[in-house]
Amino acid sequence: MQSKKYIAEAFGTFVLTFFGCGSAAIAGGALGNLGIAMAFGLSIVAMAFVIGGVSGCHINPAVSLGLYLDKRLSATDLIGYWVAQFIGGFVAAGALALVISLADLGGIAATGLGCNGYDAASSTGLTAAGAVIVEIILTCVFVLSVLGSTANEQTAPFAGGIIGLTLAFVHIMGIPLTGTSVNPARSFGPAAVMALNGDVTALSQVWVFIVAPLVGAAFAALIWRNLCAVKDNA
């Protein structure tokens, strides 16, 4: 059933957003950048074994776009996956906001819900142009890891671990710069929930974290088809 795949994608994106953004919002100070990065990466590993056989465990619109451009996903499923992923990210951010509101953490605004940002919203003061460049590069590398690890039967059994570790790897560099998106659904959910609670800063900047990851995914598909895949066939 088609609906099973979409439900799986919504659930997987919920888990990634809830645990990844939750780690940043609730325990970021204790975990540090490495701990937050591992939370995102381990979410991928866990979900790969839970829903990988149902939907492929994209749980990221950029990943779905990369696989669509590599002709491994239909246009119908691309749209269905995108809708499911954005719903999953939004519901996760809402659930996270509820948990935070019930804890002594200073409220939703104080935690930031794991939102991405640039300029004053970046811990290094990265500009909007810098955020676009960083997100394109990080997403390109991440989506390449997906395309490569799932390309054949020999690497497919290890794909979950490879992809999870790569997500952690790009987060290590990206967190101080933008908070690391590489995933439009993961960025939109917290930004939208913050806006519903009166803080529109993240939502006003979220276009970067939707557009740049999709551009990065397109570059990844281009590199894969014209460089890496050619080597495999040589």
Domains of the chain: 2-233 (1.20.1080.10)
Helices (H), the chain: 2-55, 61-69, 75-101, 108-111, 128-149, 159-178, 184-196, 201-223, 229-233
pLDDT the model gives residue 153? 85
Instruction: Place 28 in a pLDDT band, splitting at 50, 70 and 90.
Output: confident
pTM check: above 0.85: yes
- Under DSSP, the state recorded for 224 is I
Task: Give me the pLDDT at residue 29, please.
Answer: 83
Q: What is the pLDDT of residue 2?
A: 77
Identify the weakest region by mean pLDDT among 67-71, 76-80, 151-155, 211-215: 151-155
- Residues 194, 200, 206, 208, Cα dihedral to 10°: -150
